[in-house]
């Protein structure tokens, strides 16, 4: 994975940058039922102005398994298996031309 490095804040030009991580299960998860596979989100934060200069998924490799054809087919199967909402109380208007 390519490492992206910032030497200064693009907003206030401070060189005081630090890393921080989101908490309370704020992580990137694969788009599958349950979302058990995931990775933390790391932010590069300016200590002067508080801007989030850059954000990244720490371990993006787990997503590679979910872009294969087999994974796409599994997702489609899961989507089709979800119960469809009933259309209730819909007024249908027929207009003669």
pLDDT of residue 12: 95
Query: What would the pLDDT profile of 25-51 be if each residue is shown by its tens digit?
Result: 666 665 554 555 677 888 899 999 999
- Which of the two residues, 86 and 70, has the higher pLDDT score? 70
Give the long-range contacts of residues 54-57, CB within 8 A, separation 24 or more.
54/4, 54/6, 56/4, 57/28
Q: Rounded mean pLDDT of 16-23? A: 87
Cα dihedral across residues 40, 28, 30, 84: positive or negative: positive
The phi and psi torsions of 20 (rounded to 5 degrees) equal -145, 160
């Amino acid at each position: 994975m390519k490492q992206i490095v910032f030497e200064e804040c693009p907003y206030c030009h401070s060189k005081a940058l630090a890393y921080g991580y989101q908490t309370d299960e704020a992580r990137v998860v694969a788009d599958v039922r349950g979302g058990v596979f995931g990775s933390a989100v790391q932010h590069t934060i300016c200590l002067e102005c508080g801007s989030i200069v850059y954000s990244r998924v720490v371990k993006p490799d787990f997503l590679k398994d979910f872009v294969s054809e087999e994974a796409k087919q599994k997702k489609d199967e899961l989507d089709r298996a979800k119960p469809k909402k009933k259309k209730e109380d819909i007024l249908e208007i027929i207009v003669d031309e």
